[in-house]
Amino acid sequence: MRLKTKLSLTFALVVLLTVALTSILSNLVINSEFKKYITKQQEQKTQELVSSIIAQYNGAAISWDVNFIHAIGMNALYDGYIVRVLDAQNQVLWDAEKCDMTTCMQVMNDVAERMKTKYPRIGGEFTSREFLLVQDSVTIGKAIISYYGPYFLSENDFHFLDTLNKVLFVIGISALILSVAVGLFMSKRISDPICKAVGVARRMAGGDYTARISSQDDTKELADLTDSVNLLAQSLRRQESLRKQLTADVAHELRTPITSAQTHLEAMIDGLWEPSTERLESCHEELTRIGSLVKDLENLAKVDNDKLALDKKPLDLSSVLHKVISSFEMDIQNKALAVTFTGAAPAAPADEGRICQAVANLLSNAIKYTPQGGQINITLSHTEKYAMLTVEDDGIGIPEHELPFIFERFYRADKSRNRKTGGSGVGLAIVKAIVEAHEGNVEAESKLGCGSCFRVMLPL
Ligand code: ADP
């Protein structure tokens, strides 16, 4: 079932239950209150009847105004009350049944029928009540009033209840329609961004990483979802372009030395060129370049694969640095570089071989990209959580716009200068992979023409 349908149905169901419950409860309350009200009304009505009958007695003349009693009785009859008035001697003064038998029967039938069809459960029937007629403490007769008990509803009362029920029904239906509409609207608002996210995820699965969700939702969770999907698309797109770039770079890196060695060798085989030591050395150089590139790639693959298999031991970083610096002794001397090493740090848990490799790559770059007679400063320091190692040089520097990419595989800032230095652009990628495998961090600062500074942080 679709999310939209599910949400709308749930919403409608909740409202339906609420409306039904409210209607049933209000109906029960209204009915019981109405019954109480009607019973009280009837009590009042009979009292009023008795009082108005008493008022028709003239004490001085000891006589009754029967005409008025007739009017009162007939009026009461139409309201459902059958009145009989007796005087002090128990003689009938006025009797509704005798006066107008047909109307009496009709009224009684009407009331009984109405009540039996609408309220069959109250088991009502016509009952008579006797009231003593007393004026100035003298009993002047009695009134017998019959009506449908325990209570009865007039036509108007029924009409009022009917209208009330109809109003309740209309309110219920309107609430239901409104809730379905609101439910549909709400569920559309919730499901739309999810559907869009699904669409974008599908397009990504099909290889289209340009897809993005453009609309921004104001519901936090939905906004987070769309942001995450957009971020995922962005990162996949970047990975895709890096992968493509990587293949192109490897092909390019290999093609140049291979073509050069191939043409030289072909010329020598065809007898066009004398196979002199110099030419053979040139071919050897090209092959060495291919070899070192393949070695770099192997190294990188190894670091990638060995991420989980680090041989971590407490490592004295200053001894590592001394070892690496001395291994570059010759290059340092050849370029007449001044290399200093200062500072100290506590032993960090690390894989010695890997850290040596990372430091060697940083130092080799510093030497490579620092002109004759330059300065290289290596420092060790630490914070509470990290050991910090910096390799700083006053060499050629890196253009600011290239700085964010130098740790990527095969990325070489200013391609032309690197062809001369022979770098393949993998060194820093290896550094990054090693440091990150140690859950550390590496960053670079540089200014073109002024020098560069690489900082490695290793957790203690
Ligand atoms: P490469 O083998 O080309 O040196 P790296 O991955 O080691 O590859 O370095 C990537 C790029 O970063 C280099 O091509 C170079 O342009 C730049 N770079 C690295 N270290 C330095 C440095 N110390 N000074 C100037 N540029 C540097």
Q: Is the pLDDT of residue 322 over 90?
A: yes
Cβ–ligand 1 contact at 394 (below 6 Å): no
Cα of 406 from ligand 1 centre, angstroms: 7
- The confidence score (pLDDT) of residue 440 equals 93
- The confidence score (pLDDT) of residue 397 equals 92
Assign 308 a pLDDT band (cuts: 50, 70, 90): low
Tell me what the pLDDT averaged over the chain comes to.
87
Assign 306 a pLDDT band (cuts: 50, 70, 90): low
**Number of the ligand 1 atom closest to the C-alpha atom of 428:** 6
Residue 100 CA: distances (Å) to CA of 83, 106, 129, 148, 246: 11, 10, 20, 18, 113
The predicted-structure confidence for 167-212, as pLDDT tens digits, reads as follows 888 988 898 888 888 888 888 888 888 888 899 899 988 888 888 8
Cβ–ligand 1 contact at 451 (below 6 Å): no
Cα of 421 from ligand 1 centre, angstroms: 10
Cβ–ligand 1 contact at 426 (below 6 Å): yes
Residue 347 exposed, middle or buried by CB count within 10 Å (0-12, 13-18, 19+): middle
- The confidence score (pLDDT) of residue 307 equals 62
In this structure, are strands 441-447 and 451-459 parallel, antiparallel, or unpaired? antiparallel
Cβ–ligand 1 contact at 423 (below 6 Å): yes
CA 94 to chain centre: 82
- The confidence score (pLDDT) of residue 422 equals 59
Residue nearest atom 19 in ligand 1 by C-alpha distance: 365
* CB contact at 8 A, 111 and 119: no
Q: Is the pLDDT of residue 427 over 90?
A: no
- The confidence score (pLDDT) of residue 204 equals 87
**In testing the pocket of ligand 1, which one of 428, 430, 453 has its CB within 8 Å of the most ligand atoms?**
428
DSSP class of 369: T
**Whole-model pTM over 0.85:** no
Q: Which is more confident, 27 or 45?
A: 45
Q: Which is more confident, 307 or 405?
A: 405
Q: Which is more confident, 387 or 424?
A: 387
Q: Is the pLDDT of residue 357 over 80?
A: yes
Q: Is the pLDDT of residue 121 over 80?
A: no
**Which residues does 329 contact at the CB level (< 8 Å), separation at least 6?**
none
Spatial CA neighbour of 68 closest among 89, 92, 93, 43: 93
Percent of the chain with pLDDT strictly greater than 90: 37
Cα of 11 from ligand 1 centre, angstroms: 62
CA 134 to chain centre: 80
**In testing the pocket of ligand 1, which one of 412, 416, 448, 452 has its CB within 8 Å of the most ligand atoms?**
412
451: left (phi over 0), alpha (psi -120 to 50) or beta: left
Assign 420 a pLDDT band (cuts: 50, 70, 90): low
- The confidence score (pLDDT) of residue 379 equals 96
* CB contact at 8 A, 49 and 76: yes
